[in-house]
């Protein structure tokens, strides 16, 4: 006897709809920029009623702030799939190599949202938080490297983290705007320079 088909719960249906709407928002940002589409366009692309994005997310800037958050979260989750390396300098180098190879729709969308955050207050708040989270992640790795001995004990943690994070933000903007720019080679040159700057003197 064929078992009855289980109907999705309301929560499951909502999660499914939100995921589809967020995916469509990423796509439309990457294709058309911040001002090139409406919430209704997001609904049309995802195959849902035109009022659903506003019902779930509120204003367009609220939806796109969430897009920025989710895109950054997805990248952090992807770091767990990298080959295992020691914490500290090896981990930072692995993150840099991963970042300079990050291309695609989500990366382009995030770059556009970061740029537009300068004129959209809600989006700016989100990007500032993402920046702070990114800096904290790198600072934690520098502290771990100092403890493990692969980063020198007198390294200036905040300044070194800012150096890495600024490079990551800059290189992703360059390679997204101009795919012919050799981000991989530039990343290796930065890694070599950063390694010399923070290498353990032990």
- Note the pLDDT of residue 129: 94
- Note the pLDDT of residue 195: 96
pLDDT, tens digit, for every residue of 91-107? 999 999 999 988 889 99
Question: What is this structure's pTM?
Answer: 0.88
- Note the pLDDT of residue 10: 83
Residues of the chain predicted below pLDDT 50:
202
Beta strands in 45-182 (DSSP E): none
CB hemisphere CA count around 20 (13 angstroms) = 16
Rg of the chain's alpha carbons, rounded to an integer? 20
- Note the pLDDT of residue 143: 97
- Note the pLDDT of residue 7: 76
- Note the pLDDT of residue 163: 97
- Note the pLDDT of residue 77: 83
- Note the pLDDT of residue 3: 64
């Amino acid at each position: 006897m064929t078992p009855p088909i289980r109907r999705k719960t309301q929560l499951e249906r909502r999660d499914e709809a939100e995921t589809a709407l967020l995916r469509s928002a990423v796509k439309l940002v990457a294709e058309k920029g911040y001002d090139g589409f409406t919430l209704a366009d997001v609904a049309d692309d995802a195959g849902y009623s035109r009022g659903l994005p506003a019902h779930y997310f509120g204003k367009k800037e609220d939806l796109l702030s969430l897009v920025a958050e989710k895109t950054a979260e997805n990248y952090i989750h992807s770091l767990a799939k990298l080959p295992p390396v020691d914490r500290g300098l090896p981990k930072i180098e692995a993150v840099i190599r991963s970042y300079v190879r990050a291309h695609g729709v989500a990366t382009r969308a995030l770059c556009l949202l970061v740029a537009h955050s300068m004129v959209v207050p809600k989006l700016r708040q989100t990007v500032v938080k993402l920046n702070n989270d990114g800096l904290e992640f790198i600072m934690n790795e520098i502290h771990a490297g100092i403890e493990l001995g692969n980063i020198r004990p007198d390294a200036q943690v905040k300044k070194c983290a800012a150096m890495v994070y600024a490079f990551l933000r800059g290189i992703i903007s360059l390679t997204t705007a101009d795919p012919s720019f050799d981000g991989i080679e530039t990343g290796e040159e930065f890694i070599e320079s950063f390694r010399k700057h923070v290498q353990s003197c032990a």
